Amino acid sequence: MATGDQPLRSRIQTANAPGCDFPIQNLPYGVFSTAGGARRCGVAIGDQILDLSAAEAAGLIFAENTFARPELNDFIALGRAMWSKTRARLTELLAEGASEDLPLVPMAAARLHMPFRVTEYTDFYASKNHAFNVGVLFRGPENALPPQWTHMPIGYNGRASSVVVSGTEIRRPMGQLKGENGPVWAPCRRLDLEMELGAVVGADSRMGDRLSVPEAEQMIFGYVLLNDWSARDIQAWEYAPLGPFQSKALGTTISPWIVTQEALDAFRSPGAERVNPLLPYLQEDRPGLYDLTIGWRMNGQQMGQTNYNVMYYSSAQQLAHHTETGCPMRVGDLLGSGTISGPTRDQTGALLEMTRGGQDPVTVNGQSRTFIEDGDEIDLYAYAQGDGYRIGFGPCTGRILPARE
């Protein structure tokens, strides 16, 4: 995708700025609407959205009329060959020197929506740093990592119904908390974020079938930023013996643009060093993680930043493990990576780690914080830095509303 030593440039000049999240090398998919208009599919390019529904109606692209629909699931279901063909055609249309009349919409004039219908949602626990730090807080350093953790991806089935798009406000949950003399009913007092990457499954598998890691990788359409909001005090009371339940059901925020796997291929990276060999069904034939800077802000202040390649398991390994017992997967399934944390405090992706369970507060805009207060806004960001361009994900934000008592 380069001419000589120069990266490919777009006819949309804002897409050529070095810090732009949406250069021609990216071309992420989303769903948008304008005033009085219906929801339809689009691609982000610079500060514009290419209206894919209008482009298909004009004969510029062909995707079986799926882009006029209010979600990307039907396009995704067309399969990898169509994903690649469409991406190649969009690159032609948006490249510098192309002359076709394009239906462009200023991003500032558009409202962004959920990019796909989430069929099922599974959240994993794939950062060794995060798993160890949280394990120390809950169980002590001797029992921080359960014995199976370095042998298989650990996960739980979450709520697809509470996955929402960036900008949606999240209400502080009520819940059952541990009190001095038994349980109490109260607003969550230890509300937290979890900085994650979400993988969007792009193909079905049959019940009873198992996927290899290479097969699973071929089924991944792309990635979104993901904030798995967590009620830590509700979680601490409920999680034994079956794990998280209501503490994770209050909301999960994702970014509105799906960055395709193809856009990230140039940034493949090995993950964390293995403690022991994995069983054959989890072994990869090429690196499944990415050199991807990822971080978060609280009320505009930079808080934590690390790299996605600190993770112990890739999304393809998680997907392969998900089918280990023959569990069928569906187009639109969402797999959360688990909190992405580096080895140091300023690289953590959750306040639980950063404040050591609330024992070591942080200062945010001059105010002491241990967990998230009403009115606080959390903003996730991520990008892969290329030579002269950046593959960004756009916003993943949410603001906390007071509980309804």
Q: Which of 305, 270, 273 is nearest to 289 (CA)?
A: 270
Residue that has been written with the tokens 């807080």 in this structure? 137
Q: How much is the pLDDT for 153?
A: 96
The domain that contains 108 carries what CATH number?
2.30.30.230
Query: Do 125 and 105 lie in a common domain?
Result: no
Amino acid at 2: A
Q: What's the residue count for the chain?
A: 405
Instruction: Find residue 301's DSSP bridge partners.
Output: 298
Which of 50, 83, 113 represents a domain boundary (last residue)? 113
Angle of CA points 66, 71, 77, to nearest 5°: 55
Q: Which domain holds residue 54?
A: 2-113
Query: How many domains are contained in the chain?
Result: 2
Q: How much is the pLDDT for 1?
A: 41
Query: Do 302 and 381 lie in a common domain?
Result: yes
Note if the bond before 183 is cis, omega within 30 degrees.
no
Query: Do 156 and 89 lie in a common domain?
Result: no
Asked if 115 and 70 count as a contact pair (C-beta separation under 8 A), the reply is no
Query: Do 84 and 205 lie in a common domain?
Result: no
Query: Do 261 and 278 lie in a common domain?
Result: yes
Query: Do 151 and 44 lie in a common domain?
Result: no
Instruction: Report phi then psi at 304, rounded to 5.
Output: -130, 150
Beta carbons within 10 angstroms of residue 402's beta carbon: 11
Widest pairwise Cα distance in the chain: 73
Question: CA 49, CA 269: separation in Å to the nearest integer?
Answer: 30
- 130, 151, 321, 322: which is the annotated catalytic residue? 130
Question: CA 274, CA 28: separation in Å to the nearest integer?
Answer: 32
Query: Do 188 and 146 lie in a common domain?
Result: yes
Query: Do 71 and 87 lie in a common domain?
Result: yes
Contacts of 266-275 with CB under 8 Å at 24 or more apart are 266/384, 266/386, 267/291, 267/292, 267/384, 267/386, 267/391, 269/308, 269/309, 270/309, 271/309, 271/310, 271/311, 271/312, 271/313, 271/314, 272/128, 272/310, 272/311, 272/312, 274/150, 275/150
Dihedral sign of CA atoms 205, 215, 1, 81 in order: negative
Q: Which of 351, 360, 129, 165 is nearest to 254 (CA)?
A: 165
The domain that contains 193 carries what CATH number?
3.90.850.10
Q: How much is the pLDDT for 6?
A: 63
Residue that has been written with the tokens 């944390």 in this structure? 341
Asked if 122 and 322 count as a contact pair (C-beta separation under 8 A), the reply is yes
Query: Do 234 and 171 lie in a common domain?
Result: yes
Asked if 247 and 103 count as a contact pair (C-beta separation under 8 A), the reply is no
216's enclosing H/E stretch is helix 213-218
The reported pTM is 0.96
Query: Do 49 and 158 lie in a common domain?
Result: no
Tell me whether residue 130 is one of the annotated catalytic residues: yes
Which of 113, 140, 156 represents a domain boundary (last residue)? 113
Residue that has been written with the tokens 């991406």 in this structure? 87
Query: Do 129 and 42 lie in a common domain?
Result: no
User: What residues of the chain score a pLDDT lower than 70?
Assistant: 1-6
Per-residue pLDDT reduced to its tens digit, 150-185: 999 999 999 999 999 999 999 999 999 999 999 999
Asked if 118 and 73 count as a contact pair (C-beta separation under 8 A), the reply is no
Query: Do 248 and 358 lie in a common domain?
Result: yes
Tokens of 175: 């819940």
List Cβ neighbours of 152 (8 Å cut-off, separation of 6 or more): 279, 282, 321
Which of 67, 89, 113 represents a domain boundary (last residue)? 113
